[in-house]
A = this chain, B = another copy of it.
Amino acid sequence: MKIVLLGSGNVATHLGKALNDAGNQIIQVWSRTVSNARILADRLNAEYTDEFAKINSEADIYILSVTDDSIAPLAAAFPLKDKILVHTSGTTSLALEGISGVLYPLQTFSKQKEVEFKSIPIAIEGRDEPILLSLRKLAESISSNVVNMNSHQRKALHIAAVFACNFSNHLFAIAETILKDNNLEFDLIKPLIKETTDKIQNHSPASVQTGPAVRGDQNTLNAHLEYLRNNIELSELYHKLSQSIINFHEK
């Protein structure tokens, strides 16, 4: 399929490369910043522009991959009203002027690491059946895990991902800080993190919860809070998360 990419951030870059590699043709990249448009366009062997008026009208699908705040104003201003314009946001609704579909790849994209798209779930939503079919065709060219989802479910998926991925990564960062403060290497804890996440590939996380909170080991909880007493933020997080574990497993 012929695609115009609108945006040049992490999602646009990774998605553009994957679509290109899968045999689709990225014919043009638009970005507010022309230098960014050019860099990505060069990688994808595409044209580039920073002007809405010059957007190529030949594409089958136009993918708007920008920050959530920019989706509504750009979609409203998009000039090719009869074309399929989709956004790639988890939390933004389909119900926006100018938007006819959504293609949300559930992944954490960062510049430091290449991504294997084949196993990435892609949530799709479309204003009508033909649009949905076009989006499925496009999504299935890069992923074997394409799921129809309404805007409410997609937002729930995004929130679940924030808890499971963004927040847990932050907990890893906190662990690294605690270790460094005690002249210990973060490497020490990597096998444990790997074991924790390997476990939940085959078990419900709640069923394999371990640690002082779920054991009701109040002495250890107190010892840890005492250790963290000079760091209000960490002791508060420790307390809230432990309490949440206790509440969760009392139910």
Residues of A that sit less than 8 Å from B by CB:
67-69, 91, 106-110, 112-113, 115, 119-121, 145, 147, 149, 152-153, 155-176, 178-179, 181-184, 186, 188-197, 199-201, 203-215, 217, 219-220, 223-224, 227-228, 233, 236-238, 240-241, 244-245, 247-248
> Quick check: A220 and B165 within 8 Å, CB to CB?
no
Instruction: Kindly list chain B residues whose C-beta atoms are within 8 Å of the C-beta of A245.
Output: 166-167, 170
Known: A91-B220, A106-B189. A171 touches B173 (CB 8 A): no
Instruction: Kindly list chain B residues whose C-beta atoms are within 8 Å of the C-beta of A171.
Output: 163-164, 167-168, 171
Complex-state Cα separation, A110 to B192, whole angstroms: 13
> Quick check: A164 and B192 within 8 Å, CB to CB?
yes
> Quick check: B182 and A190 within 8 Å, CB to CB?
no
Complex-state Cα separation, A209 to B165, whole angstroms: 9
Complex-state Cα separation, A211 to B165, whole angstroms: 9
Instruction: Kindly list chain B residues whose C-beta atoms are within 8 Å of the C-beta of A191.
Output: 106-107, 119-121, 145
Instruction: Kindly list chain B residues whose C-beta atoms are within 8 Å of the C-beta of A248.
Output: 170, 173-174
Instruction: Kindly list chain B residues whose C-beta atoms are within 8 Å of the C-beta of A157.
Output: 179, 182, 184, 188-189
Contact partner of A208 (CB less than 8 A), chosen from B112, B120, B160, B214, is: B112
> Quick check: A201 and B196 within 8 Å, CB to CB?
no
Complex-state Cα separation, A157 to B166, whole angstroms: 22
Known: A153-B183, A153-B184, A173-B205. A167 touches B241 (CB 8 A): yes
> Quick check: B209 and A169 within 8 Å, CB to CB?
yes
Instruction: Kindly list chain B residues whose C-beta atoms are within 8 Å of the C-beta of A208.
Output: 108, 110, 112-113, 169
A-B contacts, 24 listed (Cβ < 8 Å): A68-B217, A69-B217, A91-B220, A106-B189, A108-B196, A108-B211, A110-B199, A110-B208, A112-B207, A120-B191, A152-B182, A153-B183, A162-B212, A163-B237, A164-B196, A167-B168, A168-B171, A168-B196, A169-B211, A171-B171, A173-B204, A173-B205, A186-B205, A196-B197
